[in-house]
Amino acid sequence: MTGILFLEQLLNGLGFGLMLFLLAAGLTLVFGIMDVLNLAHGSLFMSGAYVAAQAHQQSGSFVAAIALAVLVTVVVAALLEVLLMRQLYKRDHLAQVLATFGVILVADDIVKMIWGPSPVMAPTPAALSGPIEIIDGLPYPAYRLVILGAGVLVALALYLLVNHTRVGMRVRAGASDRPMAELMGVHVGRIFNGVFLLGAALAALAGALMGPIVAVQVGMGEQILIPALVVLVIGGIGSVRGAFVAALLVGLVDTIGRAFLPMLLRATLPPATAADLGPLFAEVAMYALMVVVLIFRPSGLFSARA
């Protein structure tokens, strides 16, 4: 019984972790290459979720909806890059925090104007709405399996792109030592544009995939942004491998903490205390993990600049 429950939570944690990875991969590369802290990354996630929900409802095709969500978000990100991000490259982190926090405020209001203040319904594709029995006695929602599969595929593709192509080599060079890469003839500025748009596409994909299992509402970007930043910091800035490891770690710690910490506490503490502390420990787990990692490795697990 507990074994099955554990397996189920393990899969949930991996799914959440993979989605966090899609968000953090873009963040970490943008940060690693251009030293730009983009708080509005969560807004791109929100854009993906809203466009996909609307397109899916109207067209009935989930795949087309995802494609459209990615396309629209990339166009928005291109506008954002040309109009704002370019001015922020040479500025300090504080100016970047300020400006991209401004983008969050603007994005939230624009979404509210288009879709209204209440949450939007993002349907699960009909073919995937039922459960699948993975092993005996463990029915698991088919849609969550799709998320897992998509996450693994994208992570693998990204790994191949970053580690085994010439473009990826240039990206890594830019992330670990930008001036040196430029002296060696890498067009870091142009690479960055590509990376920024790729990050936006991944964020939109995560938003579109997560839509049916979370609430599609204004503010969802701010909510997911903080865990994504935690992943970025734990993994080490500029490292896709670090982001991957940290994302799975955070996803598992968060999901398993939520499921099992309350249970563990109930076994050892009086019920009232356990009921108070359980949710608290579960929520705090990922932040505690980050603080512990930073105490022992002040620049994250796999910093590209180490």
Partner 1 sequence: MKARFVLPLVLLVALAAFPLVAPLFGMEFYIGFVRRVLIMALAAASLNFILGFGGMVALGHAGFIGVGAYTVVAFADAGVMSAWVLWPMAALVAGLVAALIGTVALRTRGVYFIMTTLAFAQMLYFIAVSLRKYGGDDGYTLPARPELGLGIDLANESTFYWVVLVLVALALGWMHRATRSRFGHALMGIRDNETRMRALGYAVFRIQLVAFAIAGAVAGLAGALLAGGNGFISPGAMHWTQSATLVVMVVIGGLGRSWGGPVGAAVWLLLEEVLKQYSEYWHLPLGLLLIAVALWAPKGLAALSRKKKAVAA
Residues in the site for partner 1, rule: CB under 8 A? 31, 37, 39, 84, 87-88, 91, 93-99, 101-110, 112-113, 222, 226, 229-230, 233, 237, 276-277, 279-280, 283-284, 287-288, 290-291, 294-295, 298-300
Nearer to partner 1 among residue 151 and residue 227 (C-beta): 227
Distance CA 150, CA 114 (A): 29
Shortest spacing between CB 99 and partner 1, in angstroms:
4
CA distance 225 to 210: 14
Smallest gap from Cβ 267 to partner 1, in A, equals 19
Distance, CA of 233 to CA of 237 (rounded, Å)? 6
Contact (CB, 8 A) for 204 and 46: no
- Classify burial at 180, counting beta carbons within 10 Å of its beta carbon; exposed 0-12, middle 13-18, buried 19 or more: exposed
User: Which is nearer to partner 1, 150 or 243 (by Cβ)?
Assistant: 243
State the amino acid at position 7 in one-letter form.
L
Nearest-approach distance from CB 77 to partner 1, in angstroms: 16
C-beta closer to partner 1: residue 185 or 271: 271
Q: 216 pairs with which residues across the strands?
A: 120
CB 232 → partner 1: shortest distance, Å?
A: 8
Residue 49 or 225 having the CB closest to partner 1 = 225
How far from the centroid of its chain's Cα atoms is residue 249's Cα? 13
Of 31 and 302, nearer to partner 1 (C-beta) is 31
98/184 with CB nearer partner 1: 98
- Contact criterion met (CB below 8 Å) for 95 and 88: yes
Q: What is the DSSP string of 198-245?
A: HHHHHHHHHHHHHGGGS-B-TTHHHHHHHHHHHHHHHH-TT-HHHHHH
The distance of closest approach from Cβ of residue 183 to partner 1 in the complex, given in angstroms and rounded to an integer, is 24
Task: With CA atoms as reference, report the closest residue to 36 among 80, 116, 114, 90.
Answer: 90
* Nearer of residues 52 and 195 to partner 1, judged by Cβ: 195
The CB-of-233 to partner 1 minimum distance in angstroms stands at 5
Q: Cβ 8 to partner 1, closest distance in Å?
A: 24
The HSE-up count of residue 4 (CA atoms within 13 Å, CB side) is 9
Residue 174 CA to residue 182 CA, distance in Å, equals 8
Question: CB within 8 A of 81, min separation 6: which ones?
Answer: 193, 196, 197
